[in-house]
Chain A
Amino acid sequence: MVTIGIPRALLYYQYYPMWLTFFQELGAQVVVSPPTNRATLAEGVSRAVAETCLPVKVFCGHVVSLIGACDYVFVPAIRSMAYKVHNCSKFLGLPDLTRAVVPESPPILEVEIDVDQGKRALYQAIYSLGRRFSCNPLKVKRAAQSAWQAHQDYVARMRSQGLTPLQVLEGQSIRDETRGYHLSLAVIGHPYLVYDSFVNHRLLERLDRGGVKVYTPEMVPQAGLDEAMAQIVGQAYWTYEAEVVGAGGYYLENQVAGVIGVAAFGCGPDSLMFEMVERRAKKLRGCSFMSLMLDEHTAEAGLVTRLEAFLDMIQRRRQVTACG
């Protein structure tokens, strides 16, 4: 049986159930690299050019940790997920970049997803990936359909039950509402930063322990995302713009007392998107906004200090408004 390795980085958090179903239906075994740790990060940082953004360095580290554990590593090149909406260069060049940075990696299984090119091209791309496992087109089609279904279920569960991707992937069913939260905050950003607890120094856990109920972009209803996007930027330009601009715009006006934006240093799309959200927050004035820039030099103590200061500020703001 063929073993496919999936790095626990970048798009893993968005598409893992889909990929897993697809490969399993085609009779392959799937292994996922262990959660990010010091060694993964050090490996990635030492290999890639210094300027490369943190998530890509982490990704390379994960590929290294899969060496010897699988026959292939799955590295998709996602060019676009909608008509006329494009993706960051790092997602387009990811397979080639991985090959260059980790030359000893297992053979790379790549697929180019470009929805902008139309359905036919998309189906062909999926078929050419599936053909490596089965020469029966119907089997590939069935696998692709159930993979898509798995993805839809995954998204629907996060949205309807208010779960984060990690909670769904770990098999938690219902959000634990019994604990007494005294504050609600939203954390927005790309899933590979928000849910990688090593990279963000356990941000979500810290907030949760501090009695803060955390909302994430996955919990925003589609209509809310669309409305916020239309208001702030008009039409989407980046594939993963909704999870930053859409969710940011939505939370600035709904449900929460503050929004924390998590971005990677040197991220091209983020540099534009977070600026838009920040300007929007300044205009609205109702909701506090803080941006956290992460890179491999981010120190835990610095992050904690900023977090504490932000929480204190929100508390004080509440007291002032309560006193009238």
Chain B
Amino acid sequence: MRVTAPHLAHLWVGLKGTLEELGVESVPPPPTSRRTLSLGVKYSPEGLCLPFKLTLGNFIEALEAGADTLLMAAGTGTCRLGRYHLLQKQILQDLGYKFKMIPLGVSEKKFLGLLHIFKFITGGASWAKIIPAVLLGLKKYSVIDDIEREVNRVRAVEREKGAASRILRQAITAIAEAKRPHSLREIRKYYLEKLAQVPRNPNIQPLKVMVMGEFYVVLEPFSNLDVEIELGKLGCEVHRNLYLSDWTKFSFFLNPLGMNEKQRVHRAALPYLKRDVGGDGWESVGEKVLHAQDYDGLIHLAPFTCMPEIIAENIMPTTKEDVPVLTLICDEQMGKPGMLTRLEAFVDLIRRRRKAREKAAI
């Protein structure tokens, strides 16, 4: 069995670790590239969103590389993503590939569901082997995310542009190779110290910007054209409303116990949107209401034709809580220069707004 799954941020760092521990052969798709995108676009119905096209492209490239077992997110009650595995299976079969598709309903079955999937993939390995391996994978995500949070802060003020990103890349390589939780702790400490030593430009007063919106396009840098790095270059300290490790921590462990990290966000959204609309639409409205005071501006990312985010886009301008929001629609037509122009204009706007406010405060 040669297992593969689509790329999603640093998903493969942890997944590969877990699969290696369990002795399962894995075939990570080649890094997402223009080729991945054009393959995905070529074989997808045009009305589907970017996440569908990119994951399909990943699958095709992984199948070319010899994978035969595909893992894909599934489950009802989300957006149409829950149904993607069915159509992708058909498309790939019609293309003549031989494979087995395993839909992952992880958001319903929580951690136990995840463990059972690994039990299935390994062909019935013992729990004593599976549980530590899965926990190691999850630990890797949390270390990456701790470092990435810091990197997003440093990027805005570093003297030499690109220094923080370089450290992040080194850290990810080290984390991918780590075999034990103990060494992960050391890696975390080492790279956080290294980041603290990055020379900074004291003249820059960073703007605080939050990147939020739909799960996939927020997490996957290829799909949002590295919006975080570009914002960093423009002198913005970037905060993200979701990280892979937060998501795994809550949806696998804490949500079943009745704890919901999003409760605050949902409550904030209530006056404007009373119920979950699938995907992350409810959260997008809530984040705006909740954090209007905390940030200079919000970047709202959504794939083209994403239904929940369209609802959010319609509702967001009507909230009392006022903060500039730039909605960036991500699809295969998106070009970097166009995005940069919009980002620069937005950053100029929020900088001027901040100055005006500081003046008014004096």
List B residues 309-343 near A (Cβ within 8 Å). 310-311, 313-315, 317-318, 329
- Give the distance in Å from the alpha carbon of A55 to the alpha carbon of B314 in the complex: 15
Does A268 interact with chain B (Cβ within 8 Å)?
yes
Does B277 interact with chain A (Cβ within 8 Å)?
yes
Chain A 286-309 interface mask (CB, 8 Å, partner B; 1/0): 000000010000000000000000
Chain B residues closer than 8 Å to A269, beta-carbon distance: 80
- Give the distance in Å from the alpha carbon of A237 to the alpha carbon of B79 in the complex: 10
The answer to whether B311 touches A89 (Cβ under 8 A) is yes
List the B residue with the shortest CB-CB distance to A282. Answer: B94
Chain A residues closer than 8 Å to B292, beta-carbon distance: none
Chain B residues closer than 8 Å to A237, beta-carbon distance: 76, 82-83
Contact flag A93-B277 (CB < 8 Å), given A100-B314, A265-B47: yes
List B residues 111-147 near A (Cβ within 8 Å). none
Binds A, one of B30-38, B63-71, B253-261, B267-275: B267-275
- Give the distance in Å from the alpha carbon of A265 to the alpha carbon of B48 in the complex: 11
Does A267 interact with chain B (Cβ within 8 Å)?
yes
- Give the distance in Å from the alpha carbon of A51 to the alpha carbon of B82 in the complex: 22
- Give the distance in Å from the alpha carbon of A237 to the alpha carbon of B84 in the complex: 11
Does B183 interact with chain A (Cβ within 8 Å)?
no
A271: which of B45, B281, B317 is its contact (CB, 8 Å)? B45
A267: which of B47, B86, B272, B314 is its contact (CB, 8 Å)? B47
A268: which of B76, B276, B305, B315 is its contact (CB, 8 Å)? B305
Contact flag A93-B281 (CB < 8 Å), given A100-B314, A271-B47, A275-B87: yes
The answer to whether A276 touches B307 (Cβ under 8 A) is no
Chain B residues closer than 8 Å to A270, beta-carbon distance: 47
Chain B residues closer than 8 Å to A276, beta-carbon distance: 86-87, 90
Chain B 56-96 interface mask (CB, 8 Å, partner A; 1/0): 00000000000000000000110110111011001000100
A90: which of B82, B94, B311 is its contact (CB, 8 Å)? B311
- Give the distance in Å from the alpha carbon of A270 to the alpha carbon of B47 in the complex: 9
Q: Tell me the minimal C-beta distance from A259 to chain B in angstroms.
A: 17
Does A212 interact with chain B (Cβ within 8 Å)?
no
Contact flag A96-B315 (CB < 8 Å), given A84-B76, A88-B307, A89-B308: yes
A92: which of B47, B277, B329 is its contact (CB, 8 Å)? B277
- Give the distance in Å from the alpha carbon of A269 to the alpha carbon of B45 in the complex: 12
Contact flag A268-B79 (CB < 8 Å), given A49-B313, A52-B314, A88-B307: yes
- Number of A residues, CB within 8 Å of B: 41
Does B279 interact with chain A (Cβ within 8 Å)?
yes
Does A246 interact with chain B (Cβ within 8 Å)?
no
- Give the distance in Å from the alpha carbon of A293 to the alpha carbon of B277 in the complex: 24
Does A101 interact with chain B (Cβ within 8 Å)?
yes
List the B residue with the shortest CB-CB distance to A91. Answer: B277
Does A223 interact with chain B (Cβ within 8 Å)?
no
The answer to whether A112 touches B275 (Cβ under 8 A) is yes
Does B304 interact with chain A (Cβ within 8 Å)?
yes
The answer to whether B314 touches A272 (Cβ under 8 A) is no
Does B221 interact with chain A (Cβ within 8 Å)?
no
List the A residue with the shortest CB-CB distance to B318. Answer: A100
The answer to whether B311 touches A93 (Cβ under 8 A) is yes
Chain B residues closer than 8 Å to A88, beta-carbon distance: 307
List the B residue with the shortest CB-CB distance to A87. Answer: B278
The answer to whether B305 touches A93 (Cβ under 8 A) is no
List the B residue with the shortest CB-CB distance to A270. Answer: B47
B277: which of A49, A84, A89 is its contact (CB, 8 Å)? A89
B48: which of A49, A271, A279 is its contact (CB, 8 Å)? A271
- Give the distance in Å from the alpha carbon of A238 to the alpha carbon of B307 in the complex: 14
- Give the distance in Å from the alpha carbon of A233 to the alpha carbon of B82 in the complex: 13
The answer to whether A89 touches B45 (Cβ under 8 A) is no
Contact flag A89-B272 (CB < 8 Å), given A51-B313, A97-B311, A268-B307: no
The answer to whether A51 touches B278 (Cβ under 8 A) is no
The answer to whether A103 touches B318 (Cβ under 8 A) is yes
List B residues 279-298 near A (Cβ within 8 Å). 279, 281
A96: which of B84, B272, B279 is its contact (CB, 8 Å)? B272
The answer to whether A266 touches B76 (Cβ under 8 A) is no
The answer to whether A51 touches B275 (Cβ under 8 A) is no
List the A residue with the shortest CB-CB distance to B274. Answer: A96
Chain B residues closer than 8 Å to A48, beta-carbon distance: 314
The answer to whether A77 touches B310 (Cβ under 8 A) is no
A89: which of B83, B86, B307, B318 is its contact (CB, 8 Å)? B307
The answer to whether B47 touches A51 (Cβ under 8 A) is no
- Give the distance in Å from the alpha carbon of A292 to the alpha carbon of B313 in the complex: 27
- Give the distance in Å from the alpha carbon of A99 to the alpha carbon of B80 in the complex: 25
List A residues 61-115 near B (Cβ within 8 Å). 77, 79, 84-86, 88-90, 92-93, 95-97, 99-101, 103, 112
Chain B residues closer than 8 Å to A293, beta-carbon distance: 47
Chain A residues closer than 8 Å to B314, beta-carbon distance: 48-49, 52, 97, 100-101
Q: Tell me the minimal C-beta distance from B4 to chain A in angstroms.
A: 23
List the A residue with the shortest CB-CB distance to B86. Answer: A233
Chain A residues closer than 8 Å to B84, beta-carbon distance: 272
- Give the distance in Å from the alpha carbon of A286 to the alpha carbon of B279 in the complex: 38
A52: which of B83, B94, B273, B310 is its contact (CB, 8 Å)? B310
Q: Tell me the minimal C-beta distance from B309 to chain A in angstroms.
A: 9
The answer to whether B48 touches A272 (Cβ under 8 A) is yes
The answer to whether A268 touches B80 (Cβ under 8 A) is yes
Q: A residues bordering B, Cβ < 8 Å?
A: 48-49, 51-53, 77, 79, 84-86, 88-90, 92-93, 95-97, 99-101, 103, 112, 233-234, 237-238, 263, 265-272, 274-276, 279, 293
Can you list 23 pairs linking A and B with CB atoms under 8 Å apart?
A: A49-B313, A49-B314, A51-B305, A51-B329, A52-B310, A90-B307, A92-B275, A93-B308, A96-B311, A100-B314, A100-B318, A233-B86, A234-B86, A238-B83, A265-B47, A267-B47, A268-B49, A268-B79, A269-B80, A271-B80, A271-B305, A279-B90, A293-B47
With contacts A100-B318, A272-B45 known, what are 10 further pairs, Cβ within 8 A? A49-B314, A77-B274, A86-B77, A92-B311, A93-B311, A96-B315, A266-B47, A268-B306, A276-B87, A293-B47
Q: B residues bordering A, Cβ < 8 Å?
A: 45, 47-49, 76-77, 79-80, 82-84, 86-87, 90, 94, 272-279, 281, 304-308, 310-311, 313-315, 317-318, 329
Top 10 A-B residue pairs of the complex, sorted by shortest distance between their CB atoms: A271-B47, A93-B311, A89-B307, A89-B277, A93-B277, A268-B307, A275-B45, A100-B315, A100-B318, A266-B305
